[in-house]
Amino acid sequence: MSSFDPLYKLRDAYKAGQVPQKIYDLVIDRFLLVTEGIKRVEAASGLKYPYYYVEPSLVVSTSAVEFTQMGILFARTIPVVGESNRLRVVVQVTAPLIAYGLKGTIHAILAHEFMHYLELVSRIAKMKIISDEVSGTLFEGTYADSGRLLEERAVFKSDPTLVKHITTRFPEGFRDIKLEDKVIGMWMNKRLPTTKVPIDANVIKIPIEAIANLQVEQTVKDKVAEFENVKLRKKKTGYV
């Protein structure tokens, strides 16, 4: 883990002339906000953050149904199947988020993706997933995203400020109009690297052999079970 450089793709894009010097320097200077956020999530949850890296492009999702709609994906949690069907869950953090996001926003998104990681690990560990559901519209995608996560107050109960950041910025999926406008104006409209992802292609397909090869430490399983019990209690009683 210590030998993994989360900035390797950004460095490669800079060397290839895809990312200008000014933007590269800005992301490098503000990367400390990411490392601080990772440490904050780990301290509040009691668990290690998964592998993560900085994606040097803006990632946007588009819908074939809602022609005028576009969603900006500032970060994503992605299961990757490597050699010998080894499964690894990786968090992708985009460079525009680091360049233009407020500290609280960056930390909230990192925490949100961490909950995606825990939820995915839980489902795989229980053998409940071979392929994830397909959402045909951006609204459905947002609804599905917010509807299945663990309870943030359980995961980050020792950091109420972080919980507030999450609940404020993710009432029903992440929206930050000021950040989106800034990213569109200062990144997309300047023709900096942009990747378009059809929302109906956002499907997780994991070979059964890879699911079997996902090694999850018992401490992680125990913590996830603890967090899930809090969510179940909330559903039954209406409060925690």
Q: Tell me, what's the pLDDT at 47?
A: 92
Q: What is the pLDDT of residue 227?
A: 81
Q: What are residue 79's DSSP bridge partners?
A: 89
State how far the Cα of 46 lies from the Cα of 195, in Å rounded to an integer: 34
Count other Cβ atoms within 10 Å, centred on residue 111: 26
Q: Which residues contact 1 (CB under 8 A, 6 or more apart)?
A: 51
User: Would you write out the chain's pLDDT as a tens digit for each of its 240 residues?
Assistant: 446 899 999 999 999 999 999 999 999 999 999 999 999 999 999 999 999 999 999 998 876 555 456 688 899 888 777 666 666 788 999 999 999 999 999 999 999 999 888 888 787 766 654 444 444 444 444 444 555 567 888 899 899 999 998 888 776 667 788 999 999 999 999 999 999 887 665 555 666 666 666 666 777 778 888 887 765 455 444 443
**Quick one: pLDDT at residue 200?**
61
State the Cα angle at 33 between 30 and 39, rounded to 5°.
150
3-state secondary structure the chain: CCCCCCCHHHHHHHHCCCCCHHHHHHHHHHHHHHHHHHHHHHHHHCCCCCEEEEECCEEEEECCCCCCCEEECCEEEEEEECHHHCEEEEEEEEHHHHHHCCHHHHHHHHHHHHHHHHHHHHHHHCCCCCECCCCCCHHHHHHHHHHCCCCHHHHCCCCHHHHHHHHHHCCCCCCCHHHHHHHHHHHHCCCCCEEEEEHHHCCCECCHHHHHCCCCCHHHHHHHHHHHHHHHHHHHHCCC
CA atoms within 13 A on the CB side of 111: 37
Count of positions (residues) in the chain:
240
Q: Where are the domains of the chain?
A: 8-237
Angle, CA 225 vertex, CA 220 and CA 226 arms, to 5°:
95
Provide the pLDDT for residue 145: 53
Q: What is the pTM of this model?
A: 0.81
